[in-house]
Amino acid sequence: MPKNIVFLIIFIISLSSCVTTDQETYQTVLLDEAIRDAADHLEGSLEQGTIVALLNFTSPSETFSAYVLDELTDYLVNGRRLIIVDRAELDLIRQEENFHMSGEVSDATAISIGQKLGTQIIVSGSLVGIGQTYRIRIRALKVETAVISVSRSSDINPREERVRALLGWQTPDVEIAGQGSAQTQTSGTQGTAARVVIESGSQGYFRWERDNLGVTITSYTGSGGVVTIPSSINGIPVIAIGDNAFNGSNLSSISIPNSVITIGVFAFGGNELMTISIPNSVTYIGEGAFIFNQLTSARISNSVTFIGEGAFAYNRLTSINIPNSITSIAWMAFADNHLTSVNIPNSVTTIEGSAFHENGLSSIIIPESVTSIGEYAFAGNRLTSITIGANVWLGQDVFGIDMFFFENAYNGTAGTYTRANANSSNWTRM
């Protein structure tokens, strides 16, 4: 079996075992299926002709919330069993009550709004992190009695392309200097836009392909050790390191030239690298690019705009400075290292699940720019000090199994929260 396939299997098994089970994976449905299921359940549970207002859906993204409410509205309107309050009336109420469709609304407020609208049922929902899945919850509240008459939940996969896009976590386009942009898919498949291979060949231990944008190193046939990647081949600049190009190649040191823009999926995974310096030309680092090495030092330049899932996981990093060109820290990007110091810049708005899982952090400063943190993002550390902004959306057990106690202390108020030691459940705001 080829070494890259072996490594890929090990990687998938290792990451899956951290936060998910096979049962969880099999039970997830597509987002649209979850919305349709909720609509069917509402239609089947409420009497025909019931007047319904779709009030709010709590999630870290206005775009995601709007999509769920719009799709749910369309299903119910087209079903013609229930009477759905016009969104224009709801928007006026939202302005009066000063709340967003993606924000939380108390039952008392929901009932008050329902009375103003003259509705019988108020429908609300939420997106919550459950292990390695997201759960969509929809419930219907009777305005007259404040009794929950319908409740429905479905688990969706956070890796579904539509979910990631609506939450603002999709892979960005990779800008090729002077050549426009090349669309890079979340899966790590490289260069789907207008990539035409002109020629291919080998130079020394490097196999390569040349396309209309430049040269991509596709594989390495040497014995490993200290390796320097050429900046050009046949006078054409090397602009990309392909998926799996140096995967499991016994590298102890690698020098990446300042011509490279893209580092592919698992490009340098499974080696013995101890240090890495990402040159100022690189904008994209793919999934698992440096996973399973021995890295104690990693310099990431400010040119990098995307760091893929698990890119630096399973190494020995003790500190990391994330460049201010990064807006989202991907799932497991720095998981299972020895980090005691992390610098998160003000450019970051999203920290995905398990991003810093299983490290040695005792304190963390999360800038006010961050609006959402995924499940288990900082779990497996021994945090005694957390600085965090206001109203950050928190997934399941973001800071560990005592998350309940932190949430009670935090309650959406910005500040620095501390506890006496890593075993204490008593968090207080300084």
> Region 350-377: what's the mean pLDDT?
93
Q: Residue with structure tokens 């997830």?
A: 28
Which residues are 155's β-sheet partners? Answer: 135
For residue 70, tell me if it sits in a domain. Answer: yes
Angle at alpha carbon of residue 373, lines to 19 and 166, rounded to 5°: 95
Nearest to 216 by CA among 86, 412, 198, 380: 198
Is residue 76 assigned to a domain? yes
Which residue do the tokens 């440096």 mark?
290
The Cα-based distances of 108 to 6, 122, 142, 299 in angstroms read 56, 11, 11, 51
* pLDDT at residue 289 in the model: 95
* Residue 95 neighbours by CB under 8 Å, 6+ apart: none
Please report which confidence band the pLDDT of residue 87 belongs to, taking 50, 70 and 90 as the band edges: confident
Question: What residues contact residue 411 under an 8 Å CB cut-off, 6+ apart?
Answer: none
Average confidence (pLDDT) over 192-207: 79
Q: Do 243 and 221 contact (CB within 8 A), yes or no?
A: no
342 — pLDDT class (breaks 50, 70, 90): very high
Q: Residue 195 — very low, low, confident or very high, per pLDDT cuts 50/70/90?
A: low
Residue 120 falls within a domain, yes or no?
Answer: yes
pLDDT (0 to 100) of residue 333 = 96
Query: Percent of the chain having pLDDT more than 70?
Result: 81
| Lowest mean per-residue pLDDT among 22-26, 105-109, 112-116 | 22-26
Residue 255 has pLDDT above 90, yes or no: yes
Domains in the chain, number: 1
Q: Would you give the DSSP letter of residue 47?
A: P
The CA distance from 97 to 105, in Å, is 10
224-254 residue pLDDT tens: 999 999 999 999 999 999 999 999 999 999 9
If one counts every other C-beta atom within 10 angstroms of the C-beta of residue 209, the result is 18
By the 8 A CB rule, do 268 and 289 touch?
Answer: yes
> Pick the residue with more confidence: 175 or 157?
157
Give the pLDDT of residue 311.
95
pLDDT at residue 23 is higher than 60: no
Predicted confidence at residue 300, as pLDDT, reads: 97
Query: Which structural domain range is residue 88 located in?
Result: 25-163
Residue 179 in domain: no
112 within a domain of the structure (yes/no): yes
Which CATH number belongs to the domain containing residue 32 in this structure?
Answer: 3.40.50.10610
Question: What end-to-end distance do the CA atoms of the chain give, in Å?
Answer: 56
- Whether 107 is covered by a domain: the verdict is yes
For residue 403, what are its two tokens? 């998350």
Residue 201, pLDDT > 90, answer yes
Residue 172: inside a domain: no
Residue 386, domain member (yes or no): no
Enumerate the β-bridge partners of residue 174.
Answer: 182
